[in-house]
């Protein structure tokens, strides 16, 4: 049995993505660019998928394009920059770099 490329749980014999992550991915496509980040997270929670699985899904980067969380954040930041009249855009990799710089060292 194959493992889900997002959360690592059982995905089925022919599938790369488990049912929960399929629900989450469908919801991501529906909400992207339509709602604030808080409402985005609420929308994912409304799927009924366990919080731990949602977190694993958001942190996954199965295709090397940046995690789902970083992709969505980059899109929102780029849209905000455009609205403010600023040139440029954010990439998921830049969002990841900034996020990692701002995370507190767990040893402190």
pLDDT digits 0-9 by tens, 25-63:
999 999 988 888 899 999 999 999 999 999 999 999 998
Residue 85 domain-assigned (yes or no): yes
Phi–psi pair at 2, nearest 5 degrees? -75, 160
Asked whether residue 107 is domain-assigned, the answer is no
Assigned domain for 108 exists? no
The answer to whether position 17 is within a domain reads yes
CB-side neighbour CA atoms (13 Å) of 80: 10
Contact 7, 56 (CB under 8 A): yes
Q: Is residue 13 part of a domain?
A: yes
> What would the pLDDT profile of 59-107 be if each residue is shown by its tens digit?
999 989 999 999 999 999 998 898 899 988 889 999 888 888 888 765 5
Tell me how far apart the alpha carbons of residues 1 and 19 are, in angstroms, rounded to a whole number: 14
pTM, full prediction: 0.82
Quote the domain boundaries for residue 32: 2-102
Total domains present in the chain = 1
């Amino acid at each position: 049995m194959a493992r889900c490329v997002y959360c690592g749980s059982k995905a089925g014999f022919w599938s790369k993505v488990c049912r929960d992550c399929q629900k989450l991915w469908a919801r991501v496509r529906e909400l992207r660019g339509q709602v604030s980040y808080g409402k985005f997270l609420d929308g994912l929670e409304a799927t009924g998928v366990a919080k731990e699985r949602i977190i694993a899904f958001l942190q996954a980067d199965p295709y090397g394009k940046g995690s789902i969380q970083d992709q969505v954040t980059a899109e929102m930041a780029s849209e905000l920059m455009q609205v403010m009249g600023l040139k440029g855009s954010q990439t998921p990799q830049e969002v990841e770099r900034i996020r990692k710089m701002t995370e507190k060292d767990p040893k402190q």
